[in-house]
Homo-oligomer: A and B are copies of this chain.
Amino acid sequence: MKKITVHSTAGVGNLVCGFDVIGMAINEPYDKITIQLSDLPGIRIKHTDEFGLPEDPEKNLIGICLQALINAGDEQTGFDVTVHKNIRPGSGLGSSSASCAGAVVAANALLNNRFSKNELLEFALEGEIVASGGRHADNIAPAIFGGITIARPTDPFDIISLPVPTNLYVTVVHPQIEVKTADARKILPKEIPMKSGINQWANVAGLVTGIFKNDKALIGRSLVDEVAAPFRSKLIPGYNDVMNKSLQAGALGGGISGSGPSMFMLSESLAIADSVEKCMQEVYKKLQIDFKTYVTTINPQGVKIIESE
C-alpha cells in the first residue's frame, strides 16, 4: 500500500460533566486526508480547503504529528499529504484532533500498523498540545479509538473505551462566531468548590453507568456540568435558549462541545433530533448569527480508511 485516504471525523470533547476526560466521535462533519508514501524523506502538506492553514510542516499540526511518528520510527520515511478540512478550526468540534488523529492513523496504515493506538495517541497529542496549549486527550482519544472514551490523564494516557448506546442521536449547532480555545480556558477558575466537584463526579458516575446500562434517562439527567459550562456559556450567545428549547423538544441533555462555540444535544430518536435541530436554527436565525447544524450519530470506529492503493 502506497497511498491511503481517510475520513477523520469530528468529535464532542468535554462531554459535559466529563470535562477534559470524556469525549465522543461523531459521524458528521469530517475531514478528508490523503497520504502518499514517498521515497523522498520529509513531509509535504497541501490544503485544498479554504481555512488558510499553514502548509509549512513545522507549523501545520499534521506536520508536527507526522514528524513525531517519523522520529519514533524510520527517519527516512517521506509523506505527501493532501488535506481537505470540513471541520472549521475553532468550532469546538475537534478540528485539530481530526487533523492529528487522521494523519497518524493513515500514516500508520501505510507503515503496516507498526505503532499501537496508544503510540498513535501520543504522536497526535504533539499537535493537539500546540493547538490548544494543554495536554488533554478527550478529543484525540475518540478520534483514534472510536466511540466514547475516557482519557485518564496519567503519563502515558490511560484510554478506556465505553460501549456505544443504541439509538442515540446527536444534534450539533455551530454558530459561526469565534471562541478562542485559549480564551475559553482562561475564563475557567483554577479552583472549584468541593461541593461542585462532588456533584461533577457524581454526574460522571451516573453518565458512565447510563452508557453501560443503555439507560437514556440516566444519561440525560447526568449531563450536568458545574465547573466549566457556567463560565463558558457566557461566551456563547443563545446558549440558554438552545438548552431550554432543546430540552422542551425532548432532548435528553447536552451542552457545549469542546470549548465551544458549538453545542450538542443527545436524543433517543431521529424525530426528536430533527426537532432539536429546528430549535437551534430558530435561536440563531433570531439572533442573526450564521450557523451550521448537523443531525448525526456516534461514530463507533473513529478515523475510517475509505480508499487505499
Contact = CB atoms under 8 A, between A and B. Distances in A.
Contacts of A200: 197, 201
B194 A194 contact: no
B20 A205 contact: no
A135 to B, nearest CB: 11
A19 B196 CA distance: 12
Interface stretch (A92-100, A116-124, A151-159): A151-159
A202 interface: yes
Interface stretch (A28-36, A50-58, A185-193, A283-291): A185-193
Interface in A169-221: 188-194, 196-206, 208-209, 212, 218, 221
Interface residue tally on A, bucketed by range: 35 or more
A202 B153 contact: yes
A158 B197 contact: no
A209 B208 CA distance: 7
A21 B201 contact: yes
Contacts of A222: 152
A188 to B, nearest CB: 7
A186 B150 CA distance: 32
Nearest to A151: B202
B208 A19 contact: no
A62 interface: no
Contacts of A208: 204-205, 208-209, 212
Contacts of A206: 150, 152, 158, 160
27 contacts: A18-B205, A20-B202, A21-B198, A21-B202, A21-B205, A150-B209, A151-B202, A152-B202, A152-B206, A153-B198, A158-B221, A160-B209, A190-B194, A191-B194, A192-B192, A194-B227, A197-B200, A197-B201, A200-B201, A201-B201, A201-B204, A204-B205, A204-B208, A205-B205, A205-B208, A208-B209, A209-B212
The 3 closest A-B pairs by CB, nearest first: A201-B201, A201-B204, A208-B208
